[in-house]
Amino acid sequence: MTDKFTTTQTNRLVELNAEPEVFSQEFDAPEVRNQFFKETENRLVKKNRDKLRTLLKQQHKPLSIRIEEQIKTWLTEKEGFTQVVTPTIISAEMLDKMTITKEHPLTNQVFWLDTKRCLRPMLAPNLYVVMRDLYKATREPVRIFEAGSCYRKESQGAQHMNEFTMLNLVEFAGIEEGTQMERLKQLAKAAMEAIGMETYELVIEKSEVYGETLDIVADGLELASGAYGPHFLDGRWGVFEPWVGIGFGIERITMKMGGYQTIKRVGKSIAFLDGSPLNL
Ligand code: ATP
Ligand code: MG
């Protein structure tokens, strides 16, 4: 007879971010298991406590914030992008223009505030307007980005949250037609270099409606999605120049870089800070 951890023990070990090998342990008797659990729990409590102490005394910024800042610094200092900040509450009309109508996969994921307004599930609608109007105003190539919360009703799971942080860059005009995918790849690689992410793949997909898209993927987990135009939606926004855009999921990247199995430990939370649980 061999014993494995009880469900309660397993949950506690997950919460404390135990190493994967801990979970596969088997024991000859419950007493041996309980003893091992107690020792492991104590060790992990200490590890998490030390990590929180280091955060408070030295680091001061969680990994997710540092990653977001690294991308922003790279964009503003190396690539000439400008940061914009737009509302998290958007109109039904803006959403309609993204063709988020009944058939769209995102339809059932939108948090409605009333019949006319919702929490943005993506940054693209606001960025379409800002890039178009900035171009009209200046007639200069537009390179802008926004970093902020997006909201989607998700069935939770280890890789999705209802509220997450997207950093979306767009580059508009000044891109030669036919070179968009090259530019997307260049930006994707430079972004990964800026944060020190070495193991990732660029996955290109082709769709009749959406054209070519580029995903940044690490161990099967999507970290970011890129697209480019001319795109079938552009006309509705009064956009007629080539553009490229990439949306990075900040918590997805943090999860991978921090070696965490679940996203909620690095997301906006009152139960976790910088990957560590607060109930130690
Ligand atoms: P997935 O297929 O993984 O659900 P998606 O393709 O629907 O993601 P996009 O619309 O491409 O997501 O959003 C851009 C990025 O935002 C994704 O690559 C991912 O990193 C992140 N992201 C999307 N939805 C969530 C979520 N619910 N929680 C955390 N991050 C998310
Ligand atoms: Mg995607």
Percentage of the residues of the chain whose pLDDT score is greater than 90: 86
In this model, does residue 208 exceed pLDDT 90? Answer: no
Beta carbon of 264 within 6 Å of any ligand 1 atom: no
CA distance 177 to 2: 64
What's the CA-to-centroid distance between 247 and ligand 1, angstroms? 8
260 CA from centroid of ligand 2 (Å): 20
Task: Give the pLDDT confidence score for residue 118 in this predicted structure.
Answer: 96
pLDDT computed for residue 278 by the predictor: 96
Higher model confidence: residue 1 or residue 147?
147
Nearest CA to ligand 1 atom 25: 160
Q: Global pTM?
A: 0.94
Residue nearest to ligand 1 atom 30, measured at CA: 249
249 Cα to the center of ligand 1, angstroms = 6
How deeply is 28 buried, as exposed, middle or buried, from its count of CB atoms within 10 A (0-12, 13-18, 19+)?
A: exposed
Reading the block at residue 120, the tokens are 């943005």
Q: Which amino acid is at 86?
A: T
Total Cβ atoms within 10 A of residue 256: 20
Instruction: Please tell me the distance between residue 218's alpha carbon and the centre of ligand 2 in angstroms.
Output: 13
Q: Is the CB of 255 under 6 A from ligand 1?
A: no
Q: Is 62's C-beta closer than 6 angstroms to any atom of ligand 1?
A: no
Q: Does residue 102 carry a pLDDT above 80? A: no
List of long-range contacts for 174-178, beta carbons under 8 Å, 24+ apart: 174/140, 174/141, 175/141, 175/241, 175/242, 175/243, 175/244, 176/242, 177/230, 177/242
**Residue 27 predicted with pLDDT over 70:** yes
pLDDT-based confidence at residue 158 (cuts at 50, 70, 90): very high
Residue whose Cα lies nearest atom 21 of ligand 1: it is: 249
- Looking at residue 223, its pLDDT comes to 98
pLDDT at residue 113 in the model? 97
Query: Does the pLDDT at position 150 exceed 70?
Result: yes
* 205 within ligand 1 shell (Cβ under 6 A): no
The residue-averaged pLDDT of 74-82 equals 98
* Residue-averaged pLDDT of the chain: 94
Distance 41 CA to ligand 1 centre (A): 33
Distance from the alpha carbon of residue 51 to the mean position of ligand 1, in angstroms: 28
CA distances from 56 to 53, 69, 146, 175 (A): 5, 19, 28, 44
Q: Rounded to an integer, what distance in angstroms lies between the CA atom of residue 24 and that of residue 80?
A: 49
What pLDDT does 256 receive? 96
Model confidence band, residue 207 (pLDDT cutoffs 50, 70, 90): confident
> Which region among 49-58, 204-213, 233-242 has the lowest average model confidence (pLDDT)?
204-213
Cα dihedral across residues 93, 85, 257, 36: positive or negative: negative
Does the beta carbon of 120 lie inside 6 Å of ligand 1?
no
Ligand 1 pocket test: which of 149, 166, 197, 260 has the largest number of ligand atoms within 8 Å of its C-beta?
Answer: 166
What is the structure's pLDDT at 1?
66
Task: Name the closest ligand to CA 150.
Answer: 1
Convert the pLDDT of each residue in 129-149 to its tens digit: 999 999 999 999 999 999 999
**Percent of the chain topping pLDDT 70:** 99
CA-105 nearest atom, ligand 1: 7
